[in-house]
Structure 1
Amino acid sequence: MANIKYQTNKGKIIEGNSIELLSGDMKEELKGSVNLIITSPPFPLNNKKQYGNEKGDEYLKWFVEMAPIFSDLLTEDGSLVIEIGNSWEPNRPVQSLLHLECLFGLVKHPDANLRLIQEFICYNPSKLPSPAQWVTVNRFRTVDSYTHVWWLAKSDFPKADNGKVLRPYSKSMLALLKRKKYNSGKRPSEHHISEDGFLKDNGGSIAHNFFEMEQVDNNREVRLPHSVLSFSNTNSNDYFLKTCREKGINPHPARMSGGLVNFFINFLTDENDLVLDPFSGSNTTGYCAEKLNRKWISFEILKEYIDQAIIRFSETETNHQLVETYE
């Protein structure tokens, strides 16, 4: 029996080990019904964190065993989006290949049916220097400032619509659309640009697979997709962080970016589709899904992070009453 701790009119938070629950009691209940699994599992760090993380071969085994579970949960056109950071060899200034082995393990698992659709890069210039021993102490390496985001699916053609995550046009493109002409013809790259190929107003330009979580250059306009909410894990004005400070709570140290979650929910699902996060932490995924009118299920093994999740839903702009079922 699932131990539901909080629920709203669209979703619920379940306390417990998601892999055990989704392999057992909940397997048949959710089989083939999840449109999007989006998560940031514990990264393979050399130092043990409070939120739990394995290392080396143990991490690889744990990670790869999720492949058939996730494959069974997804609808035939469903997607799996996983964010994972880099790792380093213990006590060595050498980057580990563990994250790549994890990816290969997912797509090559004999009991799963997953393939890599596209890789995204999530760049965060505010990340602390890491690995500290080889960046700030010995100064052998540069700052590890990005994470990988893998989009996998059961089908070569999963549900997706990049028209729902368009970026605003640049000023030069807006000017081009206004004057209705540009230099067409053959380019040095040998591409041939037609006379009217860029004259149709599609409402924006197609998004890139590079996420700039904070503006790198203040003199350059950052054009995020319309659907991406402008809040960042490092934003001091974020409602969640402000409330945590007021209550003397140490927030989850590895929160997934809300803008990232919003992007993929809009890109890969429709309203009332089901979104699932097996490692939800303070439940950014559920919060975003609720605001975007998707059904959602989140799992978290630590009670203190479930307690933090309620803070997100206490924001008045959420416009959804959270029903407390805490025992």
Structure 2
Amino acid sequence: DFFWFNPSRLPSPAEWVNVRRIRVKDAVDPLWWMSKSAYPKANNRRVLEKYSDSMIQLIQNGYKAKLRPSGWDISTKFQKDNGGAIPPNLLQIANTESNSWYLRECARSGVRPHPARYPSRIPKFFIEFLTDPGDVVLDPFAGSNVTGEAAEATQRHWIAVELRVDYLIGSKFRFIRPHPVLAVPAG
């Protein structure tokens, strides 16, 4: 199981959080990842995070191997540098997009942007965790196609399925951008 913690989420549901004040804001959503195989080619080495300062010190300075009060046996194997820390199953990613190319082009073209976009770091994490470059990524609920954009950015192919034509019309802005060499300002 994976979960997404959005620290910038607005307080909701408003009636219970802001009016009656008997709940705290909902800021965590479940994330589903599905595979047609019981043993997908997931590899957490592809999504390692930076080590904490204390882990860097442990790798550099060593640690007295011993059984911890928690029952964990912290052996000398913990001193090995594996290239980074294995991430937790809680992804803390703020959803603060407000001035992206996609939104600017939707506004310029009079296209209503998808109302429930998620940050591209979410599909990027799962794409890197679960696939290799050149693989195909399927998003059966594409919306504005954030997943397709993340797939292209990580050299994967993608298939998007979306029932709403208006969302698909706006999604093209994720893939149509001026080439930096050709987009020379006039004057």
In the superposition, the TM-score normalised over structure 1's length comes to: 0.51
1:245 CA drift (Å): 4.1
Indicate how the Cα distance of structure 1 residues 154 and 283 shifts in structure 2: closer, same or farther if over 3 A, else same: closer
The one-character-per-residue Cα deviations of 1:229-261 (angstroms, maximum 9, x if unpaired) are xxxx41334332343344454321111321010
Structure 2 gaps, min length 5: 181-187
- The answer for the alignment partner of 1:182 in structure 2 is 63
Distance in 2 between residues matched to 1:315 and 1:166, nearest whole Å: 30
SS at structure 1 position matched to 2:124: helix
The one-character-per-residue Cα deviations of 1:33-52 (angstroms, maximum 9, x if unpaired) are xxxxxxxxxxxxxxxxxxxx
Matches within 5 A, 1:193-208: 193-194=74-75, 196-208=76-88
1:197 CA drift (Å): 1.2
- C-alpha contact 2:97 2:119 (8 A) present in aligned 1: no
Q: Tell whether 2:89 aligns with 1:209.
A: yes
Matches within 5 A, 1:1-327: 119-179=1-61, 181-194=62-75, 196-214=76-94, 233-316=95-178
* Residue identity opposite 1:268 in structure 2: L
Structure 1 gaps, min length 5: 1-118, 215-232, 319-327
* Residue identity opposite 2:79 in structure 1: L
SS at structure 2 position matched to 1:197: helix
The one-character-per-residue Cα deviations of 1:102-148 (angstroms, maximum 9, x if unpaired) are xxxxxxxxxxxxxxxxx111011222222122222222221111110
* Residue identity opposite 1:207 in structure 2: P
* Residue identity opposite 2:90 in structure 1: F
* Residue identity opposite 1:188 in structure 2: P
Give the structure, 1 or 2, with the largest relative contact order (CA under 8 Å, sep 6 or more). 1
Distance in 1 between residues matched to 2:51 and 2:101, nearest whole Å: 30
Distance in 2 between residues matched to 1:177 and 1:245, nearest whole Å: 50
Number of residue equivalences: 180
* Higher strand content, 1 or 2: 1
C-alpha root-mean-square deviation of aligned residues, in Å?
2.1
Distance in 1 between residues matched to 2:170 and 2:161, nearest whole Å: 13
- The answer for the alignment partner of 1:83 in structure 2 is none
- Counting aligned pairs with the same residue, the percent is 46
Indicate how the Cα distance of structure 1 residues 304 and 153 shifts in structure 2: closer, same or farther if over 3 A, else same: closer
Distance in 1 between residues matched to 2:171 and 2:164, nearest whole Å: 11
Distance in 2 between residues matched to 1:173 and 1:315, nearest whole Å: 41
Indicate how the Cα distance of structure 1 residues 317 and 159 shifts in structure 2: closer, same or farther if over 3 A, else same: farther
